[in-house]
Amino acid sequence: MTTLQKDEDGFFNPVPARGSSPSKPEEKPKHEETPKAEEAPARPASPENDLVKSSFEVSVTLADQQADPNSPLFSVKTFEELGLSEELLKGIYDMGFSKPSKIQERALPLLLSNPPTNMIGQSQSGTGKTAAFVLTMLSRIDFDLHKPQAICLAPSRELARQIMSVVCTMGKYTAVQTEYAIKDHLPRDASNITAQIIVGNPGTTIDLIRRRVLDTTHIKVFVLDEADNMLDQDGLGDQTLRVKNSLARNNKSQIVLFSATFPEHVRSFASKFAPNANKIELQKEELSVESIRQFYMDCKDEEHKYDILVQLYQLLTIGQSIIFCQHRHTADRISARMTAEGHKVASLHGAKDASERDAIIDRFREGKEKVLITTNVIARGIDIMQVNMVVNYDLPLMNERDKFADERPDIETYIHRIGECIIIGEKGGSRRTGRFGRKGVSINFVHDKRTWMQMEQIEKALGRKIIRIETHDLDEMEENMKKALK
């Protein structure tokens, strides 16, 4: 019998039977060599310190947000009080973090306490969950032991690569060694992984374990980023469970689950997956932040959606934008059409091969491309500083294949998509601090009764107004956008 597995874009594909071999690999393993710590960590200059003149204004803004007890960026603590090593403090301060966010302040003492306790942590997009679990992995490993000790799984290649860059930056004053478990990275005949932190996707990780390239005997921390997505039984849940089951039976790994969303149907599974976990949960009304600017445009039909997107091009390129489509072919089609008409856009989805995907996201991260047309493949966790606009060219649906047609909007995916340009708090952030306090705008395209009703359901679920922008008045549209981005 053929089993169907939901892939990164949300499509269902036949999956090979358990134990069958995956596709061919290419590159050599890479172990990151990192320098040892030498000096005491220096905290970044305070906002009041005019040594950092160029970021004076924005830093003050960040401090304001972190001083607001209602903001998810608020904290009463310093990183020093959280029990981190000197080397890690140096890494954090090098990244320009001066204070922990609320989730970091609340989660880190629980994550780092002994004996290790499991954690299910929820906090809005862009509030610093990655740093919390990366610091946990870096704090728990024994740098003298050259064996895998922490595994972090994420739903997409792009997110795994982003997490790895945080591990390497935060851990740069430690001797940590890292390895990817992503498709086409390790050669087929790779020998035992000796790196301590492994970041990857569940399918490749399970394959490496099965081929005995990845030994899980010494795993102390097992992290799932975007955990609700990773545990979803209609998606990656099965593979993730297989990775967990591969941990030695007597293994007492600390299981750490993080996400901005934990829908009802995965909550009980999450509790079983991470038994006796400390839990940090958001109330329903806290799911999306108050100040996020959400708009919609009432288009006449599919063709009109395209016309409007083209008309928006100037606005899309003020910063950077991500355009989400339901299907890969839509992403390719509109990107080809816009390119032919002289616009500079790129498209990214799960049907492209690994090296192409890496090149596309890297170019986008470097700002070489300003508009990225994509599918749900990068709907979660992507943190690119300049992205200040997200367009839902197609609204996310619970199920994106006709065969399984389900017309309900996918609220969680919507929250994650718009979170990629999310605004936390009223005031803007700085280049240095990225999404952490940054401004952004999301625009939904609706074009018939069905899509309009789907958007209404999203509005109701989030309890936030989605504001109409007239499609015929470009000036007003521009005015609205610029106001929202200010």
- 219 in Cβ contact with 151 (< 8 Å): yes
CB of 348 to ligand ATP, least distance (A): 17
Angstrom distance (rounded) from CA 233 to CA 230? 9
Strands 387-392 and 441-446: parallel
34/123 with CB nearer ligand ATP: 123
Which residues share a beta bridge with 223? 152, 256
x/- site string to ligand ATP, residues 378 to 417, per CB under 6 A?
Answer: ---x-x----------------------------------
Stretch that binds ligand ATP, among 126-134, 322-330, 362-370, 440-448 (CB under 6 A): 126-134
Which residues touch 165 (CB under 8 Å, ≥6 apart)? Answer: none
What six digits make up the tokens of 92? 């954090």
Q: Does 260 bind ligand ATP (CB under 6 A)?
A: yes
CB of 447 to ligand ATP, least distance (A): 28
Q: Does 130 bind ligand ATP (CB under 6 A)?
A: yes
- Collapsed DSSP state (helix, strand, coil) of residue 369: coil
CB of 378 to ligand ATP, least distance (A): 11
Q: How many CB atoms lie within 10 A of CB 477?
A: 20
Q: Which of 472, 278, 253, 484 is nearest to 390 (CA)?
A: 484
Q: How many residues bind ligand ATP (CB under 6 A)?
A: 21
Which residues share a beta bridge with 225? 258
What six digits make up the tokens of 459? 């509005």
Binding ligand ATP by CB under 6 A: which of 10, 47, 116, 126? 126
Provide the 8-state DSSP code for 326. Answer: S
388/433 with CB nearer ligand ATP: 433
Q: Does 157 bind ligand ATP (CB under 6 A)?
A: no
CA distances from 155 to 24, 152, 287, 350, 450 (A): 20, 10, 20, 12, 29
Strands 406-409 and 397-399: antiparallel
Stretch that binds ligand ATP, among 100-108, 138-146, 367-375, 445-453 (CB under 6 A): 100-108
CB of 108 to ligand ATP, least distance (A): 10
Q: Does 71 bind ligand ATP (CB under 6 A)?
A: no
Q: How many helical (H) and strand (E) elements, i.e. helices and strands, does the chain have?
A: 16, 18
CB of 73 to ligand ATP, least distance (A): 7
Stretch that binds ligand ATP, among 173-181, 269-277, 358-366, 428-436 (CB under 6 A): 428-436
x/- site string to ligand ATP, residues 430 to 459, per CB under 6 A?
Answer: ---xxxx-----------------------
Question: What does the binding site for ligand ATP look like in residue numbers (CB under 6 A)?
Answer: 97, 99-101, 104, 123, 125-131, 260, 381, 383, 419, 433-436
